[in-house]
Amino acid sequence: MVPSVNSHSRLAAQWDKQDVPLVVLDLASVETYFLVQPLSCLAFEQEGAVWCPLISDPAPLDRDEPGARARADALQLELQWPARHPQPVPRAMRVAALACDHGRGADFMLGMSRLAWGSGRDLDDPGEYEFLAAEIGLDKREAGEAAQEGSAYDRRLSDVAGRLKRLGIATAPALRWQRQIYAGSRSIALVLAESRSAQPRSN
């Protein structure tokens, strides 16, 4: 399986445009669960925002279960700690790269993070990533092929990591917004808070 030339070219053309929003997440991280929904309402793929997966070392809350549970309570989110956490989920991340190529990265990451952290599911189980891929309109067989080690999307993850490093992004979560790069959940949360405060109030 070879990634779509048109989608790859379209995304590659956006990387160096500093005004293009860029969302970088790791499905293995609980911080993705806390950030993905508000980020999906901030940086719209259909309006040109680029979403991409980056396999990273565990983020601070991944090593602080009590802190993560307090954060989940504050956000009124269910939290189930996956049994294999904080191990990476490379199969799911390869399918995330496929979804991003098709402009469905936000939908896939949102759905998968809810499966992992809302239900405690193993995201590297083919039954999880293939089902969700089909739910958001991707080809189930293509998702299964993309998930394999050595696939075109395995190589794509390495390419994405290299591109991000050249932009100054080494770990997830990260956000490029209004030409600035924000690394870590704390700085991203400030951007989200400012964005919400700038929204007009409904009567």
Q: pLDDT digits over 72-117, tens only?
A: 999 999 999 998 899 999 999 999 999 999 999 999 999 999 999 9
Write the Ramachandran bin of 103: left for phi over 0, alpha for psi from -120 to 50, otherwise beta: left
Q: How far apart are CA 99 and CA 97, in angstroms?
A: 5
The CATH number linked to 122 is 3.40.30.10
User: Within a domain: residue 203?
Assistant: no
User: Within a domain: residue 120?
Assistant: yes
Structural domains counted in the chain: 1
Q: What residues pair up with 51 in beta bridges, in sequence order?
A: 23
pTM: 0.90
Q: Provide the domain limits for residue 96.
A: 5-198
Low-confidence ranges of the chain (pLDDT < 50): 1-6, 200-203
Q: Does the CA dihedral 99-160-4-89 come out positive or negative?
A: negative
What integer pLDDT is reported at residue 1 of this predicted model?
A: 43
Strands 174-177 and 180-183: antiparallel
User: Within a domain: residue 114?
Assistant: yes
**Side-by-side strand order, sheet with 180-183:** 50-53, 22-25, 174-177, 180-183
* Residues 6 or more apart in contact with residue 202 via CB below 8 angstroms: none
